[in-house]
Amino acid sequence: MSFETAYSGIGRLDRLSYRDTVIHRLDPRAKVVATMLFAVVVVSFPKYEVLSLLPFFLFPILIGALGDIPAGFIARKVVAVSPFAVFVGIFNPLFDPGVVAIAPGVSVSAGWISFASILVKFSLTISAALLLIATTSFPGICRGLRRLGIPALFVSQLLFLYRYLFVLIEEAIRVVRARDMRAFGKKGAGVRVFVRIVGTLFLRTVERAERIYGAMLARGFRGDVPSMRSEMFRPADAIFVLAAGGFFALCRFVPVPQMIGRLVGGLAG
């Protein structure tokens, strides 16, 4: 059942991209470039940095709000994939026991700070990537990548991944349903049956790929998937990229939270 809810989640992400907002109307290239910049800048922070990363949350929050994307939906998706990040960072507190003072009188091991840093970086980049898909649509991103000069072969692979993900998942749901129907609550004898199901799906996929290739050849395919959408890179797109880039640079090179802290401290004192 969890499989089917995961599927409806992907479908929802897909449908969100059909909305029409300021963010949705931006050129895919602008959004791809801004999101890539965002990821690079966020990842470039040293491993004990947490506080300086916080202003970056403004970017996904703003995109989500302007793009009319429900924040709860994106947050749930981020939590759903977070085990990967937790697994990557969970041993840091053990291997990095140096003690750091974070506030007067409070100190924790350096490992915990780097762990927190990993989690923050992860939430930032994943939510930005999800928002990119939710506001651009996957085919839009592919067109953007193609026009940014990414090789045709690579972009076609992504396009087919998107198109057939749904078909493959539906096929998998049918097979799993057939198994559950005859497993009588025993979950179909575990790993061995699971392996066979994966094998069956793989063979079906290969056969399908052959049929699709036949259909493509029948319509004159010669290596590049053609597109005739000519998106114009308008001034608004340029402004978006520049504003985003400027904001990232500001937050990267100027310690914004510390400055705010000093400002607040100054006012209080």
Partner 1 sequence: MSHHLLEFKDVRFRYPDGTEALKGVSFLITHGESVGIVGANGAGKSTLLLHMNGYLLPTSGSVTVGELPLRKETRPEFRRKVGVVFQNPDDQLFMPTVFDDVAFGPLNLGLPPDRVRERVNDALRQVGALALADKPPHHLSGGEKSAVAIATVISMEPDILVMDEPAASLDPKGRRSVIGLLNSFAHSKIVASHDLDLILDVCARCLVIRDGMIVADGPAPEILSDATLLAENNLELPLTLQGRAAREGTHR
Alpha carbons 253 and 132: distance in angstroms, whole number: 25
225 counts as binding partner 1 under rule CB under 8 A? yes
The smaller minimum CB distance to partner 1, of residues 139 and 257, is found at 139
- What 3-state class would DSSP assign to 109? strand
Distances (CA, A) of 5 to 1, 9, 127: 7, 6, 20
142 counts as binding partner 1 under rule CB under 8 A? yes
Q: Residue 176: in which H helix or E strand, if any?
A: helix 152-183
Single residue of 4, 14, 96, 231 touching partner 1 by CB under 8 A: 14
43 counts as binding partner 1 under rule CB under 8 A? no
Both tokens of residue 175?
A: 């097979």
The smaller minimum CB distance to partner 1, of residues 192 and 211, is found at 211
Residues contacting partner 1: total by CB under 8 A = 29
CA distance from start to end of the chain? 58
Give residues with Cβ within 8 angstroms of 153, minimum separation 6: 223
202 counts as binding partner 1 under rule CB under 8 A? no
Angle, helix 2-16 to helix 110-136, in steps of 10 degrees:
60
The smaller minimum CB distance to partner 1, of residues 163 and 186, is found at 163
Single residue of 48, 112, 162, 194 touching partner 1 by CB under 8 A: 162
What's the closest the beta carbon of residue 8 comes to partner 1, in angstroms? 13
Please, are residues 240 and 30 in contact by the beta-carbon 8 Å criterion? yes
What's the closest the beta carbon of residue 132 comes to partner 1, in angstroms? 16
What's the closest the beta carbon of residue 139 comes to partner 1, in angstroms? 3
What's the closest the beta carbon of residue 218 comes to partner 1, in angstroms? 5
Alpha carbons 190 and 84: distance in angstroms, whole number: 24
Alpha carbons 263 and 87: distance in angstroms, whole number: 38
8 counts as binding partner 1 under rule CB under 8 A? no
Sign, CA torsion 22/29/62/267:
negative
226 counts as binding partner 1 under rule CB under 8 A? yes
What's the closest the beta carbon of residue 171 comes to partner 1, in angstroms? 10
Both tokens of residue 118?
A: 């990993």
Q: Which of 244, 237, 235 is nearest to 28 (CA)?
A: 237
Single residue of 22, 58, 195, 217 touching partner 1 by CB under 8 A: 217
Single residue of 219, 266, 268, 269 touching partner 1 by CB under 8 A: 219
166 counts as binding partner 1 under rule CB under 8 A? yes
The contact set with partner 1 (CB under 8 A) reads: 14, 137-139, 142, 159-160, 162-164, 166-167, 208, 211-212, 214-222, 225-228, 230
